[in-house]
Structure 1
Amino acid sequence: MSSSNTTGSSPLTFILTGIPSLPMSSYWVAWPLCCLYVLMLLGNCTLLWMIRTDHSLHTPMYYFLSMLAAADLGLSLSTLPTMLAIFWFESTSLRFEACIVQMYFIHSFSAIESGVLVAMAFDRFVAICYPLRYTSVLTSSLITKAGGAIVLRGVCVVLPVAILIKKMPFCRSRILSHSFCLHQDMLRVVCGDVRVNSLYGLMAVILTKGLDILAILLSYTMIIRAILSIVSQEARAKAFSTCISHLCAVLIFYIPLISLSIIHRFGKHLPPLTHTLLADAYLLVPPVLNPLVYSWKTKRIRRRILVLLCPRGTRQRV
């Protein structure tokens, strides 16, 4: 078999998959999918607009929240073209170059979001364990540098993944398992030795998601110790309540991610629908739920939304 990434004179293309056992033109799937994307766009854009325009929200916690919203937007918009193409227009083919670009952006924004969650955990750690030093530690300069480092890490760590897979020959069936391109899925259809790609992909996951999970666990270990040392039950509950939104965001992001990684390695016997639903949950659920969670659990944001929706008489009731 030829090891070229072209078939004759035609460019290499991949075939994406919708939801197994469902016809491509399933409008009852396409409509909810569009609603999810609209909800995601509205939620995250509203958060970004509120944080930008409301000077009372110009604090470290909300700057990190705006980074999370931006990462969520990037993650969702990376999957939007192929998801809608499949379910609205029954278009399943995707050029090799476009697939690599989509894969790169999905994994980069995923790594960026993971880094932002670590920064938010550090923010909560300083706020609870060192409240008097909060403003002196989390300065605007530190937040800017942290944001730059998070983006740079996401961009640089994933770049070799795209470069390595671009050099690989694809000469088997080029049918992918999802409605978008993921690194693990593309490796399945490589006709060649993928050990280097797999090893670097594993290293990239460990250097991003693995270290981030450890950092978040360490932060919350110290946060819990600090909360338990508070004598007042009311003050203890208030301190813990400031972490609820971030804990929800962490669980929403990491549970589908860890489940998908486990299934990719050990769940090959499971039906394709399980793989598809977990991959969709990993990429679609956090960007939709994060704005809802923060709007519901964060008093300042909830008050701001209520003022926008019901400007008269809201201030007295909130």
Structure 2
Amino acid sequence: MNKEKRTLLLAAPRGFCAGVDRAIQIVERALEKYGAPVYVRHEIVHNRFVVENLEKKGAVFVDELKDIPKDVPVIFSAHGVAKSVPTEAENRKMFYIDATCPLVSKVHREAERHERDNNEIILIGHRGHPEVIGTMGQLAEGQITLVETAEEARAFTPNQPGKGLAYLTQTTLSVDETREIVGILKERFPAIESPRKEDICYATTNRQAAVKILAERCEGLLVIGAPNSSNSMRLVEVAERSGCAEVAMVQRASDIPWERFKNIGTIGITAGASAPETLVEEVVDAFSRRYDVSVEEIVTNQEQVVFKMPKILEREGAA
């Protein structure tokens, strides 16, 4: 029996970014150096497959420091933490390693600089996201105002009109939506200070740009990622706004909504920045079992970013 033909277009870049790769390596190297268990405060990245694999190796994921014994290493997730978290760890005499993505740490330092410069700060981001909680927690409560939507940007009123005004952004936002919000703020407050270098990270920008190109060439698109992953959710939204008729998020191949895609001949596939390549391969294999598949990679950018490991985990002889 002849199989129906399907064309799979793979976005490139896709999947792990440098910050996620570094965070996972931090947990793995800590396990090598100190042995199991190593505790991690919150999910190291937003992907259950990654978390479960690390659990098998001896990582233990908890919500709060009070859930961790004092004599084991603790790692802070890639999303960053409020300043109160390392302070609490020090008060509890815990040994901790910070796996915060360096691009998130950059936003934290910007917040501190604006405070020193006596600027009132707006943070563009999603309420309740760990990265937003961590960034707002770099300063005293009330020092940063969160703006989530264009409507909130239009309604924003400075708390201290005599001060300068500056904005920061979460690193994993929709590029287009953020541009709209920034445009509103700049129109209302022409002197507002922008980040010295774009806060939305290179990986978020590149993956969204790749999805836009993919959406022009396919009728259906799968985003491999997690519903609590901001960058993955933004890829779904970008695909939908780009006019792709059928868009679905799947955490892995077992989630593929076959009925929705049964009449679609060309299907795009991408993966959020916290989704490993093995899950992409799993999805391609699932299609190959059902259909006569041809696979084409659509390369829109090359990524060569690598972040250094914390000094305490650098291997002997490493650069």
Q: TM-score, normalised by structure 2?
A: 0.23
TM-score, scaled to structure 1: 0.23
Determine which structure has the larger helix proportion and give its number. 1
Whichever structure has more strand as a proportion of its residues is: 2
